[in-house]
Amino acid sequence: MIRDQGRGFDPNSLPDPTDPANLEKAAGRGVLLMRSFMDEVSYNDRGNSVTLVKRRSDHSP
């Protein structure tokens, strides 16, 4: 879990980072990267805490 004391934000209000109009912007890809690499990304109601879950894959024979 990552948390700060700030006001937080509404993750649903973020612009689509895959929209061509946003591709060349210098910011806005962090949430996309988190969702790409993690199995679960969830926020608290205030939007100032994010929980990231990555599950270990079991490649046992």
Residue 51: its pLDDT value, please?
A: 96
User: Pick the residue with more confidence: 21 or 28?
Assistant: 21
Domain-embedded: residue 58: no
pLDDT of residue 39: 96
Contact criterion met (CB below 8 Å) for 49 and 2: yes
What element of type H or E holds 34?
Answer: helix 30-37
Residue pointed to by tokens 């649903």: 12
Q: Which one-letter amino acid corresponds to residue 38?
A: M
User: Does residue 59 fall inside a structural domain?
Assistant: no
How many structural domains does the chain have?
1
- pTM, entire model: 0.74
Asked if residue 38 is part of any domain, the answer here is: yes
Residue 15 placed within a domain: yes
The answer on pLDDT for 16 being more than 70 is yes
Mean pLDDT over 7-22 rounds to: 88
